[in-house]
Amino acid sequence: VARRRVLALPNVKLVRGRAEGLAVGPGRQVAGVTLADGEAGDDATRVIAADLVVDASGRGSAAPGWLERAGFEAPAETRVNGFGGYASRLLRVPDDAWPGDMRYMATLPTPGNTKGAILYPQDNGLHVLSLFGQSRDYPPGDEEGFDAFLKGCSTPLIHQVVSRSEPVSEIRTSRSTGNRWRHFEKLGEIPGGFVVLGDAAAAFNPMAGQGISTACVAAVTLGETLTDVDGDLNCLPGAFQVRLADRMTFPWQTAVGFDLRFPEPEGERPEPTPEAAKMAGYMANLAQLATVDYGAAEAILLSTQTFDRSPLREPGLVARVEAWVASGRRPPHADPTRPPALLPG
């Protein structure tokens, strides 16, 4: 009955307001959320009664404080900060501004050049231009500084396309890029019916574009876990947070691995395991192969966005990587002024 009640969502009602705490019942399970500045516009704090509370309130989540105030322990945190910054704006890019058939371009910061940029399509015909810098090389929000930063990237190609395009928004900046994992999965006790997901649980340096995908994976994982615990909301948090932590390991390693390549990131610097070192060697060779092999490039993108390593280990691909290494080949060119030419894999 409980399962049907939860999964069928019989009485969905949308309430506007800022959640500011957990209401916990005598059996130490959630009874709802306390809400400040509710939709009626008054200052009164109200309680929304609920059997299941999902904290999806992003990087600013106050869940650790909510748990402590309700008599539970706060989770431990792992933090790694590479001090990245963003400056972004929307552009209208004419079709003839692109070199050849490219419609997406990205150049990542490297330890040798901490400036990066990405130009990618939105589904409304506009493009997003994001500049990102590592190690406190923050891209500026003024026109002149923005342009100079883009010119300083490793490839001039993005600047060329942008100079033929029309800006259609202001420049917006952000420095919310530190990696932070709150280990709800290690808590001895979580109130029944309380789960935490998305950036509220684990937030990453957005450089690898994993945040939206991880939030989606978490939502799917929550649905699967609800079914597996047969709607038992007291069992749900423990089972869900452990399963979520397992799914977050891949994006965490990707984001943190990126930051740790730069000097002086703040936070924990784990020694790579032999397995991780072997995987890093394989990925370096795969990245070289991806400069000529479309299938290799697609496998990297797919695994980065779905957090599933199996496309990287597909036997045909592994054989092509081995053949690439054995042949002693190198990427056909490292000239940043020329677009890469991928061949079908």
Ligand X SMILES: Cc1cc2nc3c(=O)[nH]c(=O)nc-3n(C[C@H](O)[C@H](O)[C@H](O)COP(=O)(O)OP(=O)(O)OC[C@H]3O[C@@H](n4cnc5c(N)ncnc54)[C@H](O)[C@@H]3O)c2cc1C
Binding site for ligand X (CB under 6 A): 18-19, 56-58, 60, 86, 174, 176, 198-200, 206, 209-213, 215
Nearest approach, Cβ of 230 to ligand X (angstroms)?
A: 27
Q: Indicate the residue among 199 and 293 with the shorter CB distance to ligand X.
A: 199
| Pairing mode of beta strands 194-196, 53-55 | parallel
Residues 6 or more apart from 144 whose CB is under 8 A from it? none
d(CA 193, CA 287): 43
Report the residue number, 248 or 299, with the smaller CB distance to ligand X.
248
Beta carbon nearer to ligand X, 207 or 299: 207
Q: Give me the least distance between CB of 45 and ligand X, in Å please.
A: 12
**Phi, psi values for residue 249, rounded to 5°:** -60, -45
Q: How far apart are CA 226 and CA 232, in angstroms?
A: 7
Q: How far is the CB of 35 from ligand X (least distance, A)?
A: 8
CB atoms within 10 A of CB 119: 25
Q: Which value, in Å, is the radius of gyration of the alpha carbons in the chain?
A: 23
The residue behind tokens 């049907």 is 4
Helix, strand, or coil here: 134? coil
Residue nearest to ligand X (CB): 211
Give me the residue label for tokens 């932070």.
180
| C-alpha to C-alpha distance for 46 and 35, rounded to whole angstroms | 5
- Give the Cα separation of 154 and 317 in Å (integer): 29
Q: How is residue 332 annotated by DSSP?
A: S
Output the smallest distance, CB 251 to ligand X, in A.
10
Cβ-based nearer residue to ligand X, 212 or 319: 212
If the CB atoms of residues 133 and 231 are measured against ligand X, the closer one turns out to be 133
- Judged by CB, which is closer to ligand X: 218, or 321? 218
CB of residue 212 to ligand X, shortest distance in Å: 3
- Backbone torsion region of residue 17, taken as left when φ is above 0, otherwise alpha when ψ lies between -120 and 50, otherwise beta: left
> What's the closest the beta carbon of residue 210 comes to ligand X, in angstroms?
6
Strand partners, 115: 133
Cα 59–72–31 angle (5° rounding)? 85
Nearer to ligand X, 176 or 285 (CB): 176
Nearest-approach distance from CB 308 to ligand X, in angstroms: 16
In the bound state with ligand X, the residue whose beta carbon lies nearer, of 93 and 217, is: 217
Shortest Å, Cβ 222 to ligand X:
12
